[in-house]
Amino acid sequence: MTSSDLTMSHKTPFLTHEVHNVPEPMPAYNAWTSDLALREAVTREGGAWAEASLTRYGALAGCELMELGRLANENRPKLRSFDRYGRRLDEVEFHPAYHEVMRQAMKHGVHSFSWRHEDQVGAHVARAGLVYLGAQPEAGTSCPLTMTHAAIPSLRQAPELAAAWIPRILSTEYDPRMLPMAQKTAVTIGMGMTEKQGGSDVRSNTTRAHRQADGSYELVGHKFFFSAPMCDAHLVLAQAEGGLSCFLMPRLLPDGTRNAVHIQRLKDKLGDWSNASSEVEFLGATAYLVGPEGRGVATILEMVALTRLDCILGSAALMRQATVQALHHTAQRSAFGRKLVDQPLMRNVLADLALESEAAVALAMRVARAVDASPRDPQEAALARLITAVGKYWVCKRTPTLINEAQECLGGIGYVEENILPRLYRQAPLNSIWEGSGNVQCLDVLRTLHKEPQARDALFAELASATGQHAAFDQHLGRLQQAFADPSTLEVRSRRVVEHMALALQAAILIKAGNPAVSDAFCASRLGGDHGLVLGTLGAQVPLTALITRATPC
Ligand SMILES: Cc1cc2nc3c(=O)[nH]c(=O)nc-3n(C[C@H](O)[C@H](O)[C@H](O)COP(=O)(O)OP(=O)(O)OC[C@H]3O[C@@H](n4cnc5c(N)ncnc54)[C@H](O)[C@@H]3O)c2cc1C
């Protein structure tokens, strides 16, 4: 190497080439104010009064939480089974970034906003906006946050427990200290249903609960999936004398000793790396009955109804983040003499990502409104039971496909760990699996339709209010009504029927939202057949620029 070479190497980092045509890193952005589809959906469904909270959290989600999310996932939680002297610890150690993401989420009310503002119409919608914002930079923490939020309706079935635990759930602090509940400023709650022999069929649970003289129960058995084991308590199912029952199992007993819950190991998961999911054994662990004995499934289903809503929100959030990344990259990268975002075929892909992502958030927020209105409005309550399962099935199923397509927009680096897309891709299948996998959601839809005819009436009333504006929608609705004509084959056809319900609902919401660029493209492609089996196959008449501009963070 000559001295002139060395001089050159000070000026440019490489001797052989200059780095050009590579995008700048994503600048900090406000994930709320820059997301038109989200803001319109939250406004439409009644949560716009929380604008100030959403703006504050949106600023974090598009900035600090991005880097914290990276760190929390690169530094995965570690199980500490024993201390150096061989005493049991059964603790999970997290990177400080994990704790900071949790602290910020709880400060902004991701786990509690809807309950703290329960008297205000739209509180669940506003909180849904917070969930959607937080899951974009870091999805693993959504697990303990959503379970903590969802535990409240079940806990309310045990008034004494509720009086002690709920005020600490509603706290906007984050208190990860290993202390008994009474000494803490804030608590988190998990859920334990799945055992080795069955997760969908929880009635096959074998964990036993023995009533003690003081009214508490002693649990002996195991859970095969037990996420967020550092939560202060878990709602768990176990067989008591009166049948399968729901219990609150604290991590520490009131005297400060550890409950008899051994963490056997942490799951080595495809994704969801910041979150710890464990296998546990209960060796006579102390727990307290929630709801009546024998009513465990009904009791814990109140929790599951809310965690399923968060699966829809979480998946919609992953789609949004992937779409944002694809838009950012293609706006700065050129090939064959033109920016990627200006290439006609890439425009079709980007517009289709935007459309799918907007339909997902629109449906998620509509489900949130139904959940919000449930205590006041029996029709919305029936609708919530139906469309939570419909939305979870469909939105979660669409997510891996969309994220893979967004990855491809970035070319090779979309497959490389230094950007967020591989992490989004690994996370993508999870919401479809837990809280009831795809088939279980479809069977749940059939069960609700069978048991609650008013749910079906509520859905068709909702769909009917969007007719007369798009021929493809009207025809699709006719076909959907026919789909129920032969009940004897309904179960085997149920995936297709639920898909058609979801598409009809998304179309109806978008039609009523009043932006024809979006609703016409959706109806023509998803209902009218003017679309292929992959994304990026919109018809030539679709206003691609309008869809891309609308989705680009502004
Ligand atoms: C990362 C991770 C974390 C988790 N954390 C928790 C947790 O904290 N707490 C907890 O309780 N669980 C947790 N789970 C477990 C999860 O909820 C279950 O894995 C899920 O409910 C499926 O249960 P299973 O694994 O036993 O599968 P199975 O019940 O054996 O089901 C296997 C497949 O069969 C399908 N199936 C079931 N019944 C039918 C039917 N009648 N007709 C057609 N198809 C059917 C299901 O849809 C599924 O696709 C977690 C799972 C994962 C992956």
CB-CB contact of 247 with 290 (8 Å)? yes
pLDDT at position 13: 82
pLDDT at position 9: 52
Instruction: Name the pTM for this structure.
Output: 0.97
pLDDT at position 202: 96
Q: For ligand 1, say whether the CB of 235 is within 6 Å of any of its atoms.
A: no
pLDDT at position 344: 98
Is the CA virtual torsion 127, 128, 133, 136 positive or negative?
A: positive
433, 492, 495: residue to mutate for ligand 1 pocket, most atoms within 8 A of CB = 433
Q: For ligand 1, say whether the CB of 75 is within 6 Å of any of its atoms.
A: no
* Burial of 481 per CB tally in 10 Å (0-12, 13-18, 19+): exposed
pLDDT tens across 167-209, in order?
999 999 999 999 999 999 999 999 999 999 999 999 999 999 9
Q: Which residues of the chain have pLDDT under 50?
A: 1
pLDDT at position 1: 47
Token pair belonging to 222: 């195991």
* Alpha carbon nearest to ligand 1 atom 14, residue: 225
CA distances from 134 to 9, 138, 280, 289 (A): 42, 6, 28, 33
Tell me what the pLDDT averaged over the chain comes to.
97
pLDDT tens across 361-417, in order?
999 999 999 999 999 999 999 999 999 999 999 999 999 999 999 999 999 999 999
Expressed in angstroms and rounded, the spacing between residue 191 Cα and the centre of ligand 1 is 14
Token pair belonging to 252: 């520490």
Expressed in angstroms and rounded, the spacing between residue 434 Cα and the centre of ligand 1 is 6
What backbone torsions phi and psi does residue 195 show, to the nearest 5 degrees? Answer: -115, 175
